[in-house]
Structure 1
């Protein structure tokens, strides 16, 4: 099988200004698992898009070469590239829902590469679709095949994208954050699936990630990228165990989230939210399936930090949307406790999982953030501007960013803007739905420290929905575990990690331990 070789690649915007990529060289051999790590905006995704010749229109390759075996990718025709993409070169994109056609089912998406690259049609293709969906963790492959992208959770969409990437039997797989939206159990399953493909078929993998624990567990070699330049490379043992650059050491330090001394929430404290027998059923009749939320009862105390864990598709995001009123419930009740005699209810705001999807790309950030303030007629234009500037400063951003559009901000900047927008209405409860899952370790730590400060200074009640066990251990006082729409465990964080009761809780904890143990061992040696 051929080797992927990138030599001295330089990518520039419009031929002027600082290069997006500067002299990048890397190679992925058959059967090799190579990790490309670095901060948000460092150029990792642009490297993968360069290999596929899928750069945005404003960017172009200025110099360098990209070869897949004997094929010169940079000089290939569009017809040649169409035969290579999805076939010899597989791609797992970071934001899968943006890559699917919303008008086509998942099954239809998967049948395309099977027909184009394997010649499968009819029943043979339908059978293979179900096999692929089962391999990537769909409990009901038939239902998954007939689902449309918008009907899938972020984690389920990532599974479907993994199945599509493997459908073409690629020689080289470019995996851009393939597990950032997945729980620890499924993350391990997907990485083990890719590793089996590497061993059995000689699949070469370029694994783009900010998850250094998974790098330590699976990668043969590591490349560290900063500001479009490869600043360090070597075997996994060498780079993580004896980093040469200060930047690599900072990544390692930031990813080592030690538990903080968060005081336990008082046992007899006023409730901020009370959910009683909440049921959410999508669809009706034979197509309804199991409820997305199944008799959920939960009491969230004022001022506490509650972590919500569970596998992808278990109902975590549906729960968050139901609490803030974006999703109606089928039965049960959600009570937001009154703050004062003249208050309607506790203000609850949601920080969405994918910040780029929660802003209108055509509007400036100022226009997006100012919209909810316009309903408060007593506020003048100057007062609204002061409120916006104060919100930006509270999340440690320059108010000048308000005049940018979402596409002009990094992922970390935009995530902080979503928090600023949520704080504008002075909520008592802030729900963070995977608010740090797509962020590098340095930016993640900044966001978590910001949330801790807001919790301390404002007395915010936080509900943190996450797949990251280290984030839960670092931040949360209690843990709620969802499994197939049910609340199966609710306990103190220390007890959850030391003595999980439900089988799914035990699976989550045990799946996190192997990677985390190896990760911490290497970090201790490095630091």
Structure 2
């Protein structure tokens, strides 16, 4: 019978360069009863992930647990040995990580990953383990579990990798599930499916859930209780309805306001219909694999254009072809059929160097070499594509970092010494160094908390205005698309099913899949966030 998780007076510190400890968590208290859904929320850097890592005894070498107890039933995990923790991890406690591709072994297939917990914690082997693995993959939303089971992690999209991680976390039938931003890379439909799967496990067999998130819509729909962290301290805790409707702390109010602003603001005015196209995809098709392993097209017969100084939102479920479309547009993939054309410097134009279109990736930590200082990584495109004197290269580098509202001192750091928000802004700075006319943002804010997301989105709007940039915003987040876009394009199973001005799309989506995406937005969020919506900010975005 599950006994629940209890964390009392948890103190954790990090050793700095001088050797002096710096507090990371200060007296954190929380509990997860069997069958309870507890949300742990807070801004980036507040200590949410470090709390989860403390529970599993997976703190980094420079971080230490100074005091406190972590009890799972009668076992104090804070004082447990490696053998006991090995039995707990993946067995009594399942873990969903925020960046699944970094957690999978790249040399093993998804089936090989799933076989391990099924054998260690369920005693399943051979055909029985394979059958259960395919069941788990089907339960988390894979239409073709066999193909996923054969795939290696790098062959999956971000959302598909996250779903595979959910299957892995549930394989050992845990008593408690620690979920660290498990749906941040998923569209609203799949987010709902995954959360309902977790909720069903909670109801049917008493699974306790500690859900770490910056998504207050998710919290409002599923959480029994909410714990708010700020700078390593619990600043508010209580029933979800009380905390979200009558927040006491300034931190909770700030998180609610940041979340509310995105879907509530009026979208920019539509770009002029007579604006010329700066990038065009004409009947583009791309299929991956060879021979018998050649799958269905990731993108099929897509015709789409980006107008001058337009922000085009591209919306779709995980695996719908959004990222493949971005890679085709920037020239990282070549289409099997059709063509990509655009302004000078864009894919398909004359010249071997395609610098007019730049791409900002979804996961900022994967965009930099962890062994290099950030200065070296940012200088690389200038050294490769521009023959500039050292002084001019340095001046351009410093200007780009300041333009994304960061201190140039960060250039001397390594990626692991920066937050996700800082790294994401640096990826934008690096993209701007080559003075592109088109910037493609592939889920560029999905891993960020609401406040940091708003900062990055407003930065992109300012750059769009000041630099006369044309933007493609790829996202599964309807709030981001509505906040940023002039027009919305919807992909479904690799095909373009709808293209409409933003206001028209959200007022009356025409395609059935578009209606599903809009309807899948989590319930209760509007009622809750309406209390915290600030007056609309009427941006004057060039058409």
Q: Which TM-score band applies after superposition, normalised by the shorter structure? A: over 0.9
Which residue of structure 2 aligns with residue 292 of structure 1? 298
Distance 2:282 2:227 in 1: 49
- 1:104 counterpart residue number: 108
Return the alpha-carbon distance in structure 2 between the equivalents of residues 296 and 132 of structure 1.
33
Deviations, residues 381-407 of structure 1 (Å, cap 9, x unaligned) = 111111111001100000111111100
Query: Does structure 1 conserve the Cα–Cα contact (< 8 Å) formed by 2:267 and 2:486?
Result: no
Q: Take 1:225 and 1:345, find their aligned partners in 2: how far apart are those partners?
A: 44
Distance 1:385 1:299 in 2: 35
Mind listing any 5+ residue stretches in structure 2 that lack a counterpart? 535-543
Counterpart for residue 540 of structure 2? none
Q: Confirm or deny that 1:319 pairs with 2:325.
A: yes
CA deviation string 1:271-290 (max 9, x = no partner):
01110111111112322121
Q: State the distance in 2 between where 1:316 and 1:521 align.
A: 31
8 Å contact kept, 2:12–2:66: yes
Q: Counterpart of 1:512 in 2: which secondary structure? A: coil
Using the alignment, how far apart are the partners of 2:167 and 2:489 within structure 1? Answer: 30
Structure 1 vs Structure 2 CA RMSD: 1.7
1:87-236 equivalences under 5 Å are 87-236=91-240
Aligned match for 1:464, one of 454, 465, 473: 473
Q: Tell me the SS of whatever aligns to 1:158.
A: helix
Aligned length: 525
Cα deviation digits, residues 194-249 of structure 1 (max 9, x gap): 11111111000000000001100000110111111111111111111111111111
CA distance in 1, matches of 2:295, 2:207: 36
- Alignment of 1:10 with 2:11, yes or no, is yes
1:262 corresponds to = 268
- The alpha-carbon deviation at position 16 of structure 1 amounts to 2.9
SS at match of 1:253: helix
Partner of 1:46: 50
Output one character per residue of 1:119-174: Cα deviation in whole Å (capped at 9) or x when no partner: 11111111111110010000100111111000000000000000000111000000
Whether 2:362 is the aligned partner of 1:350: answer no
Which residue of 303, 308, 325 maps to 1:302?
308
The range that moved more, 16-25 or 313-322, is 16-25
> 2:255 is matched with which residue: 251, 255, 270?
251
Which secondary structure does the structure 2 equivalent of 1:291 belong to? coil
Aligned CA distance change for structure 1 residues 354 and 515 (closer, same or farther; 3 Å): farther
Q: Distance in 1 between matches of 2:23 and 2:334?
A: 48
2:502 corresponds to which residue? Answer: 493
CA–CA distance in 1 between the matches of 2:507 and 2:31?
A: 42
Kindly state the Cα deviation for residue 338 of structure 1 after the two structures are TM-superposed.
Answer: 3.3
Q: 1:373 to 1:245 in 2, by over 3 A?
A: same
Contact 2:343 2:356 in 1 (8 A): no
Partner residue, 2:408:
399
2:62 equivalent in structure 1: 58
Note if 1:360 corresponds to 2:369. Answer: yes
User: How far apart in 1 are the matches of 2:531 and 2:50?
Assistant: 29
Could you list the per-position Cα deviations for residues 484-515 of structure 1 after superposition, in whole angstroms to 9, with x for gaps in the alignment? 11111111111111211222111100001525
CA distance, structure 1, for counterparts of residue 480 and residue 520 of structure 2: 15
2:337 is aligned to: 331
How big is the shift at 1:342?
11
- Change over 3 Å in CA distance of 1:3–1:347 after alignment to 2: same
Provide the residue aligned with 1:514 in structure 2: 523
Q: 1:61 to 1:497 in 2, by over 3 A?
A: same
Tell me the TM-score normalized by structure 2: 0.94
CA distance in 2, matches of 1:250, 1:318: 36
| TM superposition shift of 1:345 | 6.8
In the aligned structure 2, how far is the partner of 1:508 from the partner of 1:342?
Answer: 40
**SS state of the match for residue 60, structure 2?**
coil
Tell me the distance in 1 between the aligned counterparts of 2:224 and 2:365: 32
**More displaced, 479-488 or 6-15?**
6-15
Structure 1 spans left out of the alignment, 5+ residues: none
TM-score (normalizing by structure 1): 0.97
In the TM superposition, what whole-angstrom CA distance separates every residue of 1:337-378 from its partner, at most 9, and x where no partner exists?
238999987700000000100100011111111111123564
Partner of 2:46, secondary structure, is coil
Alpha-carbon spacing, 1:267–1:513, altered in 2? closer, same or farther (3 Å): farther
